[in-house]
A = this chain, B = another copy of it.
Amino acid sequence: MAEIVDVFKEAFRRHAAGVVVVTAMDTDGVPAGFTATSLASLAVNPPMATFNMARTSSTWAAIENTEHVAIHMLGVHNRQLAATMSGEHSLRFVGDHWSAGPFGLPILRGVTAWLLGRIVVRLPVAGSAVVVVEVEGGSIETDTEPLMYHHRNYRQLGDLL
């Protein structure tokens, strides 16, 4: 089993992904959020998307108990934001990098785009969950190249050689 886990980890280290931040309000009205690389489009009509997360995540309680999330696409200029939103939990919303948006959701400033998602399915699998959202709103913001994550490093895109 250890060997399969090693192959799995190395295969995913070779897979690169765009970086997003998912935010929500917890039941006490405190903002919560995390940096993710699992966002995927699911359908266009109606517009739907998925993201995956560990149910041991500090943000799971908020995602488990809320109806809406905001999903932010990050650009190359948002590297600090990615670090902040994956760093110390109590410091993620300290600063003026966000403001309250629809349903009081924390909306991050200066991202390339954000989407308002209504959670339609939370599918628990092992210690993780697949979260399916229907997109009900959003906004297109700063037009820059996307921030990427690969082999534990932040990267950006280049043209094919």
Which A residues fall within an 8 A CB radius of B? Answer: 1, 4-5, 7-12, 14-18, 20, 37-52, 54, 73, 75-76, 79, 112-115, 120-121, 123, 125-128, 130, 132, 135-140, 143, 146, 148, 150, 154-161
Contacts and interface: CB of A to CB of B under 8 A. Distances in A.
A98 to B, nearest CB: 18
A140 B11 contact: yes
- Name A's interface SS: strand
A53 B45 CA distance: 13
Given A11-B73, A15-B146, 5 more contacts: A11-B138, A14-B140, A48-B126, A79-B160, A130-B132
Chain copies in complex: 2
A123 B123 CA distance: 9
Given A40-B52, A41-B38, A18 B16 contact: yes
A76 B47 CA distance: 30
Contacts of A42: 38, 52, 125-126, 128, 130
- A8, A73, A130, A158 — which one has the most chain B CB atoms within 10 A of its CB? A8
A92 to B, nearest CB: 21
A63 B79 CA distance: 37
